Homo-oligomer: A and B are copies of this chain.
Amino acid sequence: MQQASAEKYTKQRQAAIRAAASVFAEKGFHGACTKDIAERMGIKQGSLYYYFKSKEEALGEVCLFGIQDYVGHMATIADSNQPFEAKLIATITSHLSSYRERNEALKVYNDERLYLPKARRSRLKELGSGYRQRLERIFEEGRISGAVRQSVDCHFAAQAVIGMCNAWGDLIVRDPDLDLFTVIQKCTDLLINGFTKKTTTTT
């Protein structure tokens, strides 16, 4: 009985997080109101406070939900034994796929996390930095293995990949007709080969 109850609570809370993600994504944190969130999950405004202590807490949970998945994947990717290109493809795939499934929460993480109180923000930052560092590491290994040009700045490269993924993630969210697979391929191709013909070996 008590267990069933606890289960229901967890399920409802998940629903609340998704509802909040949806509303925050659409209107931004400050532009959204708790009534909208409550209505989207079919309860009344006051009842929301059974699941969140405050609107801010809701934002925190949404952000966490948004990234925990693809941040989790990254550890697997980084620790795997694949060559550089495979890892890069895997990263981009994981990142962009996340946008299709958790698009709203991810968008919220990107756009609204700065409205979080410091304490909560830094906890998220750790996760985010971990992601970037692992990606940076992948580039370093790529440079050592010779797959990546010596002249590439690995820190910059990681940022660039994340930036481009997020930019495309945004477009994916906005346009549901966009084919995920195609975008992944093109992004990967661009990042690996650049725009120009490869005529000479450059270092």
B-contacting residues of A (Cβ < 8 Å)? 27-31, 85, 88, 111, 115, 139, 142, 146-149, 151-153, 156-157, 159-160, 162-164, 166-168, 170-171, 183, 186-187, 189-203
- Cβ contact within 8 Å between B168 and A160: yes
How distant is the Cα of A9 from the Cα of B184 in the complex, in angstroms? Answer: 50
- Cβ contact within 8 Å between A186 and B156: yes
A82 smallest CB distance to B (angstroms): 15
Q: Contacts A160-B168, A164-B160, A168-B163 given: A202-B197 contact, CB under 8 Å?
A: yes
A151 smallest CB distance to B (angstroms): 7
How distant is the Cα of A192 from the Cα of B146 in the complex, in angstroms? Answer: 19
- Cβ contact within 8 Å between B195 and A149: yes
